[in-house]
A and B are shown apart, each in its own frame.
Chain A
């Protein structure tokens, strides 16, 4: 099997401080209370790393989640950022409201497959439709962990619970759904592949708009046995890479030589570059039809498709469409938001 990550030349050893003078420790959160070996903790670690390496000031970040094991995780990363653990399946509305109030926030949400694909499916779809600028991670393990192991709507057909119960309903592919609804950034990662994950996260941070990242994140307690299709062993075996992924920051002077036709390069909103090296097929992430075809085929093949599934960096975010003043709405004062007395007098005259 191919490497998921592109080896870049001149890659410097990780510095002890980022460009803000902060250490990786400054991006840590509280101690995780999840089970040892939980995929979610691996994702949290890569979130810490990505925000550190992308030089994002943690105080500028707002973290959101719904309810479930995955939704606990914002307490375990970026402790210096405000966090909001909201209600089940309704994190998109809360995050949308917060972004309307303060569009300068850098927003990241963590949800699970229960939180997003079932109770929160409606809000998820409208979040995608609105294109609210935020990173939306679904830590997808096919089961409800916090209520002790019931199937979720992303469980694969024929997969088996620990109790022996077989799932006979088709899985919901949240990436394909996001593509269908016009999401500008859709990716799938795997908790067991941290290097691919951190590249995807960095690209998501660089993207202006909603970035949906479905992460296959095994539940070691309720869905990691024989017959499970979202466990570590099964995932490793069925990981199907769309491409090798590489990420180059806007300020990095890295030149890559490659044969013509073997590499796709996309410049992201902040000037950084995403490099996608061709594997067996030439996958074009700007082609929604190809994205859907590959997604459908993967389900038929029982494969776990990972990589950058769809990318449309130019799509306008909802906040842009609203034409809001540059100053965050929360900070506006009477001088800016209370029209003068003449305005009220005029309205009153019209009603006389």
Chain B
């Protein structure tokens, strides 16, 4: 993302800060706070202020702590920010921890029984008797619980200056115009606003004021964006197995397809199958690809591990299919509801033997949309599994975007020989012959009505005509051609986005959701420290040739990513070979999305003392661990 930086006059901390704050809501999961938090976020969006909302939730249905973070920023910097300006404490289990983590000068709205005010003297506390207020709204205990959440929205809105009309609009949208649901929620907003006006001291530190930076924009999560992209990209076979954080991709797809992909005969132009596990989901995708369909599945790390054997079959037998990996924190079950970029190496080399996979790496919801169609094309063009590496932060959180652009290019269906073409060739063809010199052979589909159409697909050794072979020369020729095909892919995958600044000696390389924090960090470095940096954002594997050129052109290149070992950094070291000493690693892997300040602080330290790897820590200290030697 390239946010337009608007230089403002410096604002003193004591003065009012307009359209630049983070709101942190601490609740218990299962309490139904999601709707309220979405309403709060959307009403800021409707005020024209750039905003993001991130849900940090547990892998649990009810009873564990959950947090929702809203960041509003007039300049468009809406990556996660570590500092919390306004805290809403609703969870007894975490109240002390939540309060102690606040910056001095923060505002804390809390549920009266939590009695937070004694915990600190440098925070402004607003005590609210939520139970009493909700009791005045409804006798129904379940409804009271839900309305409690809407009351805090009313209080925050009143204290920040968010207009009531915008909240009502957001509520109407949230409850899809159902008046029965809208009325009590609006009553709860009014209850909160009135309470704030009558009982709480004034708050001038943070304000939300109307501006015009969100007109015409949409808010959507990456999984839904990918689903829409796949639908307009002509997906026909979808197979999946439920796993957080990927389930909502196929679930969104089901909803959209039911609405937009039923033909005039009342029948579906698609098949969506919930498989018995990820192995089956992957097998179905490849079987469908083999038979000529544009097929996809979505999963996360544990599912990717299970798909390893089939991924090798897809690579070696040359079968199309698209696999979305919505990355979460591993290894093993890991943190199922937290974000990471930890599957880079696994996906790239998934399966035994010499495998290499093409992967696309979107950084925004718009790229999720675009790459969904792109991946279906590439799978058919290259007759191989195409992986798309998203992550939980992109897939499940809300992101602002320009509306998606309708695709007008025809589908690229790859090298498929029809019966008529076989006839022209006199039936002479070889399934794995490299006719065009690009490593990509021709195929036929089962059912093709020609005497010479058939061939035998196998994961065992084969020759150019798909005959079983264990001959050394046949094996070597096959895997060498596959390597050539991988080289060909460089010209067709999404190219990196490069922002080269004149005279910049420092370069950044990042990818995926690190982008939004990295752009903000570059802004901080430029405006606060006078450090100019260039930036190359990777969008795919294999690397294109300009990646090495970028490293050559800079003195030091900082690879920023969200995993412990710097997986992309290691791939880059292999790629750039003799100039790998220029590479540095900045790593963020707490399960929370990367923030800008941590990158900025790390880079400044590394520039100063020559540290080659920084593993970003938690809390106020950005850097808790440095490693001198990599």
Residues of A within 8 A of B (CB): 57-60, 62, 74-75, 79-87, 90, 92-102, 104-105, 122-123, 126, 322-326, 328-334, 336-339, 341, 343-345, 347-348, 351-352
For B279, what are the chain A residues with a Cβ–Cβ distance below 8 Å?
Answer: 90, 93, 123
Contact (A348, B404) CB under 8 Å given A93-B282, A339-B261: yes
Indicate if the CB atoms of A97 and B237 lie closer than 8 Å. Answer: yes
Contact with A along B261-276 (1 / 0, CB 8 A): 1010101111101011
For A337, what are the chain B residues with a Cβ–Cβ distance below 8 Å?
Answer: 234-236, 261, 269-270, 294
19 pairs, CB–CB < 8 Å, chain A vs chain B: A62-B291, A83-B457, A85-B458, A87-B313, A93-B275, A97-B284, A97-B291, A101-B295, A102-B291, A105-B446, A122-B277, A123-B283, A324-B268, A328-B292, A329-B271, A330-B292, A345-B406, A348-B218, A351-B218
For A85, what are the chain B residues with a Cβ–Cβ distance below 8 Å?
Answer: 456-460
Indicate if the CB atoms of A351 and B219 lie closer than 8 Å. Answer: yes
CB distance from B26 to the nearest CB of A (A): 28
**Selected contact of A98 from candidates B220, B446, B454, CB within 8 Å:** B446
Indicate if the CB atoms of A329 and B447 lie closer than 8 Å. Answer: no
For B291, what are the chain A residues with a Cβ–Cβ distance below 8 Å?
Answer: 62, 97-99, 101-102, 105, 330
For A84, what are the chain B residues with a Cβ–Cβ distance below 8 Å?
Answer: 287, 290, 456-458
Contact (A62, B309) CB under 8 Å given A80-B454, A85-B456, A348-B404: no
Indicate if the CB atoms of B217 and A344 lie closer than 8 Å. Answer: no
Give the distance in Å from the alpha carbon of A99 to the alpha carbon of B446 in the complex: 10
**Selected contact of A344 from candidates B232, B446, B455, CB within 8 Å:** B232
Indicate if the CB atoms of B454 and A59 lie closer than 8 Å. Answer: yes
CB distance from A323 to the nearest CB of B (A): 5
Indicate if the CB atoms of B447 and A325 lie closer than 8 Å. Answer: no
Give how many B residues have a beta carbon under 8 Å from the other chain's beta carbons.
71
Give the distance in Å from the alpha carbon of A344 to the alpha carbon of B229 in the complex: 10
Give the distance in Å from the alpha carbon of A98 to the alpha carbon of B293 in the complex: 8
Indicate if the CB atoms of B410 and A329 lie closer than 8 Å. Answer: no
CB distance from A13 to the nearest CB of B (A): 28
Indicate if the CB atoms of A82 and B239 lie closer than 8 Å. Answer: no
Indicate if the CB atoms of B276 and A97 lie closer than 8 Å. Answer: no
Give the distance in Å from the alpha carbon of A86 to the alpha carbon of B458 in the complex: 6
Indicate if the CB atoms of B234 and A98 lie closer than 8 Å. Answer: no
For A79, what are the chain B residues with a Cβ–Cβ distance below 8 Å?
Answer: 454
Residues of B within 8 A of A (CB): 216-220, 228, 231-237, 239, 256, 260-261, 263, 265, 267-271, 273, 275-277, 279-295, 309-310, 313, 403-404, 406-407, 410-411, 444-451, 453-460, 468
Looking across the interface, which residue of chain A has its beta carbon closest to that of B275? A93
CB distance from A21 to the nearest CB of B (A): 13
For B273, what are the chain A residues with a Cβ–Cβ distance below 8 Å?
Answer: 96, 100, 322
Looking across the interface, which residue of chain B has its beta carbon closest to that of A102? B291
Give the distance in Å from the alpha carbon of A328 to the alpha carbon of B454 in the complex: 18
Interface centre among A97, A123, A322 (most CB of B within 10 A): A97
For B310, what are the chain A residues with a Cβ–Cβ distance below 8 Å?
Answer: 87, 90
Give the distance in Å from the alpha carbon of A74 to the alpha carbon of B458 in the complex: 11
Indicate if the CB atoms of B267 and A323 lie closer than 8 Å. Answer: yes
Interface centre among B265, B280, B404 (most CB of A within 10 A): B280
Given contacts A98-B446, A100-B273, A104-B447, list 10 more A-B pairs with CB under 8 A: A84-B458, A86-B287, A101-B291, A102-B293, A326-B267, A334-B411, A338-B232, A347-B256, A348-B403, A351-B218
Give the distance in Å from the alpha carbon of A100 to the alpha carbon of B234 in the complex: 15
Give the distance in Å from the alpha carbon of A96 to the alpha carbon of B223 in the complex: 25
Give the distance in Å from the alpha carbon of A326 to the alpha carbon of B456 in the complex: 27
For A83, what are the chain B residues with a Cβ–Cβ distance below 8 Å?
Answer: 454-457
Give the distance in Å from the alpha carbon of A199 to the alpha carbon of B282 in the complex: 35
For B286, what are the chain A residues with a Cβ–Cβ distance below 8 Å?
Answer: 94, 97
Give the distance in Å from the alpha carbon of A62 to the alpha carbon of B291 in the complex: 9
Indicate if the CB atoms of B276 and A126 lie closer than 8 Å. Answer: yes
**Selected contact of B218 from candidates A323, A325, A352, CB within 8 Å:** A352
Contact (A352, B217) CB under 8 Å given A85-B458, A85-B460, A323-B267: yes
Contact (A101, B292) CB under 8 Å given A59-B447, A330-B445: yes
Contact (A325, B283) CB under 8 Å given A101-B237, A351-B218: no
**Selected contact of A101 from candidates B231, B236, B444, CB within 8 Å:** B236
Give the distance in Å from the alpha carbon of A324 to the alpha carbon of B266 in the complex: 9
**Selected contact of B446 from candidates A86, A102, A332, A348, CB within 8 Å:** A102
Give the distance in Å from the alpha carbon of A322 to the alpha carbon of B273 in the complex: 9
Interface centre among B217, B267, B269 (most CB of A within 10 A): B269
**Selected contact of A75 from candidates B294, B295, B456, CB within 8 Å:** B456
Interface centre among B239, B263, B291, B449 (most CB of A within 10 A): B291
Looking across the interface, which residue of chain B has its beta carbon closest to that of A347? B228
Give the distance in Å from the alpha carbon of A100 to the alpha carbon of B270 in the complex: 9
For B404, what are the chain A residues with a Cβ–Cβ distance below 8 Å?
Answer: 344, 348
Indicate if the CB atoms of B269 and A336 lie closer than 8 Å. Answer: yes
Indicate if the CB atoms of A329 and B269 lie closer than 8 Å. Answer: yes
Indicate if the CB atoms of A330 and B454 lie closer than 8 Å. Answer: no
CB distance from B81 to the nearest CB of A (A): 24
Looking across the interface, which residue of chain B has its beta carbon closest to that of A330? B292
Looking across the interface, which residue of chain B has its beta carbon closest to that of A100? B271
For B235, what are the chain A residues with a Cβ–Cβ distance below 8 Å?
Answer: 337
Indicate if the CB atoms of B265 and A326 lie closer than 8 Å. Answer: yes
For A81, what are the chain B residues with a Cβ–Cβ distance below 8 Å?
Answer: 446, 454
For B283, what are the chain A residues with a Cβ–Cβ distance below 8 Å?
Answer: 86-87, 90, 92-94, 96-97, 123
For B468, what are the chain A residues with a Cβ–Cβ distance below 8 Å?
Answer: 75
For B455, what are the chain A residues with a Cβ–Cβ distance below 8 Å?
Answer: 82-83
CB distance from B47 to the nearest CB of A (A): 14
For A326, what are the chain B residues with a Cβ–Cβ distance below 8 Å?
Answer: 265, 267
**Selected contact of B268 from candidates A126, A322, A343, A351, CB within 8 Å:** A322
CB distance from B306 to the nearest CB of A (A): 11
Give the distance in Å from the alpha carbon of A286 to the alpha carbon of B270 in the complex: 34
CB distance from A44 to the nearest CB of B (A): 14
**Selected contact of B289 from candidates A82, A97, A331, A352, CB within 8 Å:** A97
**Selected contact of B267 from candidates A57, A324, A343, A344, CB within 8 Å:** A324
For B236, what are the chain A residues with a Cβ–Cβ distance below 8 Å?
Answer: 101, 329-330, 332, 337
Indicate if the CB atoms of A101 and B287 lie closer than 8 Å. Answer: yes
**Selected contact of B290 from candidates A74, A94, A123, A324, CB within 8 Å:** A94
Give the distance in Å from the alpha carbon of A92 to the alpha carbon of B261 in the complex: 27
Indicate if the CB atoms of B449 and A59 lie closer than 8 Å. Answer: yes
Indicate if the CB atoms of A93 and B447 lie closer than 8 Å. Answer: no
CB distance from A348 to the nearest CB of B (A): 4
For A344, what are the chain B residues with a Cβ–Cβ distance below 8 Å?
Answer: 228, 232, 404, 406
CB distance from B375 to the nearest CB of A (A): 15
Give the distance in Å from the alpha carbon of A81 to the alpha carbon of B451 in the complex: 9
For B282, what are the chain A residues with a Cβ–Cβ distance below 8 Å?
Answer: 93
Indicate if the CB atoms of B239 and A97 lie closer than 8 Å. Answer: yes
For B234, what are the chain A residues with a Cβ–Cβ distance below 8 Å?
Answer: 332, 334, 337-338
Give the distance in Å from the alpha carbon of A5 to the alpha carbon of B283 in the complex: 39
**Selected contact of A100 from candidates B284, B450, B460, CB within 8 Å:** B284
Indicate if the CB atoms of A82 and B285 lie closer than 8 Å. Answer: no
For A57, what are the chain B residues with a Cβ–Cβ distance below 8 Å?
Answer: 449
CB distance from A352 to the nearest CB of B (A): 5
Give the distance in Å from the alpha carbon of A347 to the alpha carbon of B232 in the complex: 12
CB distance from A289 to the nearest CB of B (A): 27
**Selected contact of A123 from candidates B260, B276, B309, CB within 8 Å:** B276
Give the distance in Å from the alpha carbon of A101 to the alpha carbon of B319 in the complex: 13
For A97, what are the chain B residues with a Cβ–Cβ distance below 8 Å?
Answer: 237, 239, 283-291, 293, 295
CB distance from A47 to the nearest CB of B (A): 15
For B410, what are the chain A residues with a Cβ–Cβ distance below 8 Å?
Answer: 334
Indicate if the CB atoms of A87 and B459 lie closer than 8 Å. Answer: yes
CB distance from B208 to the nearest CB of A (A): 19
Looking across the interface, which residue of chain B has its beta carbon closest to that of A339? B260
**Selected contact of A59 from candidates B280, B448, B456, CB within 8 Å:** B448
Give the distance in Å from the alpha carbon of A220 to the alpha carbon of B95 in the complex: 73
Give the distance in Å from the alpha carbon of A348 to the alpha carbon of B273 in the complex: 27
For A339, what are the chain B residues with a Cβ–Cβ distance below 8 Å?
Answer: 231-232, 260-261
Give the distance in Å from the alpha carbon of A233 to the alpha carbon of B261 in the complex: 58
Give the distance in Å from the alpha carbon of A329 to the alpha carbon of B282 in the complex: 18
